[in-house]
């Protein structure tokens, strides 16, 4: 029998990576960037919110929202469940408060530098944001229950609502979105965007936290779904994988920069189904109860109850000069 292979021994001395030169080069690059962007040296600690801290916060919030499914394995229903939820929320919200402080300080230093916020006012605003966010968590849980039920009703392969919460990437993405959208509306868009990107990295589903989404929302399969910042989605809407609700064009200001925040994404009314690979662009309206077929490219509004297929879309573009 052959003897097991042994790893080669480590060299007696570590290779010379030239770290001194690399560190000096990186220092010079940072200084060049800061000078170009008029960034002063920060001496008071971290300047930006932490992605890793927000990952931990969201994990705690998810387990507090669904303690028996996303909480610890040894948790039991009853008093211990409420104790766990209370303790977990307290830890998460204290940590969230620090991240909110960081975003507000950053905005005060670099965006509102001509009219900086008084530190005491900033602290009061940070506490108010987190308190208002926390107060909305019960409503978020109720809203998420409608999303979970919609997924269970909409997928014949689902055996239970518990499977939906534990396994479905679309549900994970919408949990993140409900939390991120709340942060977005409360005035901390950077934190909201980080939370959204945590879900995007895990699921491949890209939902901007500014998008407004009604109850009973279901993303089936989900990979490649993109929902833009100003999209408005009604109730009981179902999307399949690789659906894009995007912008057709961007408004440019006089100095050539893109204008921010202008409505540029679709409005999808109640009870609409959008099948895999469909792309809907621009501030168009998809009427209530419509069905948009797979791989359709759509840049115009459709009335309530419409059924749009690839053949229809091609015919419309040839006859009426549609498209982009």
Q: Kindly report, residue by residue over 54-112, the tens digit of the pLDDT.
A: 999 999 999 999 999 999 988 888 778 999 999 999 999 999 999 999 999 988 877 65
Q: What is the pLDDT of residue 97?
A: 98
- What is the widest separation between alpha-carbon atoms in the chain? 78
Give the pLDDT band of residue 169 (cuts 50, 70, 90).
very high
Averaged over 162-186, what is the pLDDT? 97
How far apart, in whole angstroms, are the C-alpha atoms of residue 137 and residue 158?
26
Q: What is the pLDDT of residue 12?
A: 66
Averaged over 177-182, what is the pLDDT? 98
For 167-221, the DSSP string reads H-HHHHHHHHHHHHHHHHHTT-HHHHHHHHHHHHHHHS-EE-TT-EE-SS-EESS
Q: Kindly report, residue by residue over 260-315, the tens digit of the pLDDT.
A: 888 999 999 999 999 999 999 999 999 999 999 999 999 999 999 999 998 765 55
Q: What is the pLDDT of residue 38?
A: 78
Q: What is the pLDDT of residue 79?
A: 72
Give φ, ψ of 212 to 5 degrees: -100, 120
Question: In Å, what is the CA distance from 19 to each residue of 25, 27, 58, 179, 281?
Answer: 10, 12, 36, 42, 49
Q: Kindly report, residue by residue over 96-138, the tens digit of the pLDDT.
A: 999 999 999 988 877 656 677 788 999 999 999 999 999 999 9
Q: Would you tell me the crossing angle of helices 79-106 and 189-203 to the nearest 10 degrees?
A: 120
Task: Express as a percent the part of the chain with pLDDT over 90.
Answer: 73
Averaged over 43-51, what is the pLDDT? 78
- pTM equals 0.86
Domains of the chain: 49-204 (1.10.3130.10), 211-324 (2.160.10.10)
Task: Reply yes or no on whether the pLDDT at 319 is more than 50.
Answer: no
Averaged over 242-259, what is the pLDDT? 85
Q: What is the pLDDT of residue 45?
A: 66
């Amino acid at each position: 029998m052959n003897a097991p292979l042994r790893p080669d021994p480590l060299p007696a001395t570590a290779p010379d990576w030239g770290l001194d030169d690399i560190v000096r080069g990186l220092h010079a690059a940072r200084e060049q960037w800061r000078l170009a962007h008029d960034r002063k040296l920060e001496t008071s600690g971290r300047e930006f919110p932490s992605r890793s801290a927000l990952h931990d916060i969201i994990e705690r919030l998810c387990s507090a929202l669904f303690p028996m499914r996303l909480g610890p394995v040894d948790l039991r229903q009853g008093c211990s469940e409420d104790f766990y939820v209370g303790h977990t929320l307290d830890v998460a919200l204290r940590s969230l408060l620090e991240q909110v402080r960081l975003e507000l300080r950053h905005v005060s230093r670099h965006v509102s530098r001509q009219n900086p916020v008084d530190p005491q006012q900033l602290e009061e605003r940070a506490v108010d944001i987190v308190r208002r966010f926390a107060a909305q968590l019960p409503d978020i849980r109720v809203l998420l229950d409608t999303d979970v039920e919609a997924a269970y009703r909409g997928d014949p392969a689902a055996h239970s609502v518990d499977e939906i919460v534990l396994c479905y990437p679309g549900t994970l993405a919408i949990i993140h979105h409900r939390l991120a959208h709340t942060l977005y509306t409360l005035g901390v868009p950077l934190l909201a965007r980080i939370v959204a990107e945590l879900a995007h990295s895990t699921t491949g589903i890209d939902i901007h936290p500014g998008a407004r989404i009604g109850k009973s929302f279901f993303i089936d399969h989900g990979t490649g779904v993109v929902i833009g910042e100003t999209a408005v989605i009604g109730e009981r809407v179902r999307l399949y994988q690789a659906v894009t609700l995007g912008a057709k064009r961007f408004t440019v200001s006089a100095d050539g920069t893109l204008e921010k925040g202008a409505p540029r994404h679709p409005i999808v009314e109640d009870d609409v189904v959008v099948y895999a690979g469909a792309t809907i662009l621009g501030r168009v309206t998809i009427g209530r109860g419509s069905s948009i077929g797979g791989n359709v490219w759509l840049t115009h509004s459709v009335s309530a109850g419409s059924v749009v297929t690839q053949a229809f879309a091609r015919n419309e573009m040839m006859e009426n000069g549609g498209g982009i």
